[in-house]
Amino acid sequence: MSIPTAKIHRRLEGTVVSDKMSKTRVVLVERWKWHPKYKKSFRVHRRYKVHDEREATHVGDRVTFEECRPISKEKRWRIV
């Protein structure tokens, strides 16, 4: 019999840029990448739709969120 193990979910951190949808926040995650040919760093950003059950966050807040089961067509993340 195997011992049950907890799943490790990916966690990201970003800034809330939209709170206009019910129980959904749009979070912008920025990170830096290095270009191997030109030897220069550049900024990469992506917007994630994140589930916020309690609607506790607002525009400008820094949040940590993790991967979860699909909640809707585009939401696969929830605020920790």
Classify 19 in phi/psi space as left (phi over 0), alpha (psi -120 to 50) or beta. Answer: alpha
| Section 29-39 average pLDDT | 98
| Section 19-26 average pLDDT | 98
Question: What structural domains and CATH numbers belong to the chain?
Answer: 11-79 (2.40.50.140)
Query: pLDDT-based confidence at 4, cuts 50/70/90?
Result: confident
